[in-house]
């Protein structure tokens, strides 16, 4: 799939298996989400623009590197919060905003109920985060909203993606790369990802 990166790594497969297992309890589920969040951040930031400066080591001067643009992490509430700890452990000076979108259970279409993100979206390196890319409606809605507020360099980061959701994002936002740990088989009749892992938010927050 064009503009989609599926991470093929044995450690990711291990932690995905923990997350998929319906017997996994809340604490190990959270640890696995954090670990994969860090790996997703590593992949998503491989082309982060950098600038150089001089660093004095105990031996001599050498070249140091730091980001030349700000990094914003925008989780889609509430499930998107499950990946934030892992991402900011890898990029601790990233700024974190929030956008609240829920899926109407009847229409499966997104409804925006909250947003709060830093100013200066234009030119920033923005990661939109949602663990489950299912229909793509919430993700597309969030990206559109961020673009309307100035964001012009966006990547979508998900744990598990359905082909239907990928197709929707590529149709609506062909300029937005997708980073995911797994592309699963399909959506079922209730718009849940198969095989998936159930409701990521409920499992992470212990609200099953």
Give pLDDT, residue 112. Answer: 86
- The torsion of the CA quartet 175, 178, 179, 182, rounded to 10 degrees, works out to -160
178 φ, ψ (degrees, to nearest 5): -115, 130
Q: What Cα–Cα distance (Å) separates residue 150 from each residue in 73, 94, 146, 165?
A: 15, 18, 6, 24
The ranges of the chain with pLDDT < 70 are 103, 108
Give pLDDT, residue 108. Answer: 67
The Cα–Cα gap between 83 and 33 comes to 6
Closest residue by Cα to residue 126 from 174, 167, 177: 177
C-beta atoms surrounding 42 within 10 Å: 16
Question: Concatenated DSSP letters for 40-92?
Answer: HHHHHTTT--EEEEEEE-SS-EEEEEEESS-EEEEEEETGGGGGHHHHHHHST
What is the set of domains in the chain, with CATH numbers? Answer: 4-205 (3.40.50.2020)
Give pLDDT, residue 102. Answer: 76
Give pLDDT, residue 150. Answer: 94
Give pLDDT, residue 2. Answer: 80
Give pLDDT, residue 117. Answer: 86
Give pLDDT, residue 195. Answer: 96
Give pLDDT, residue 190. Answer: 87
Mean pLDDT of the chain: 94
C-beta atoms surrounding 30 within 10 Å: 18
Catalytic residue numbers, as ranges: 103, 107, 199, 202
Give pLDDT, residue 104. Answer: 73
Single pTM value for the model = 0.93
Q: How far is CA 106 from the centre of its chain?
A: 25
């Amino acid at each position: 799939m064009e503009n989609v990166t599926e991470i093929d790594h044995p450690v990711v497969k291990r932690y995905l298996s923990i997350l998929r297992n319906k017997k996994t309890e809340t604490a190990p589920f959270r640890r696995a989400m954090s670990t994969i969040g860090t790996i997703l951040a590593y992949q998503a930031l491989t082309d982060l623009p950098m600038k150089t400066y001089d660093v004095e080591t105990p031996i001599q001067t050498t070249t140091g590197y730091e980001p030349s643009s700000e990094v914003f992490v925008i989780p889609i509430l509430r499930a998107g919060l499950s990946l934030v700890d892992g991402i900011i452990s890898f990029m601790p000076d990233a700024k974190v905003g929030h956008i609240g979108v829920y899926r109407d259970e009847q229409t499966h279409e997104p409804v925006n109920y909250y947003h709060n993100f830093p100013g200066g979206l234009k030119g920033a390196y923005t990661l939109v985060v949602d663990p489950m890319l299912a229909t793509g409606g919430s993700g597309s809605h969030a990206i559109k909203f961020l673009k309307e507020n100035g964001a012009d360099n966006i990547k979508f980061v998900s744990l598990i993606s359905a082909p239907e959701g990928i197709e929707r994002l590529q149709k609506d936002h062909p300029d937005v790369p997708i980073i995911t740990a797994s592309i699963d088989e399909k959506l079922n009749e209730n718009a849940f990802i198969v095989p998936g892992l159930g409701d990521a938010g409920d499992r992470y927050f212990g609200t099953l």
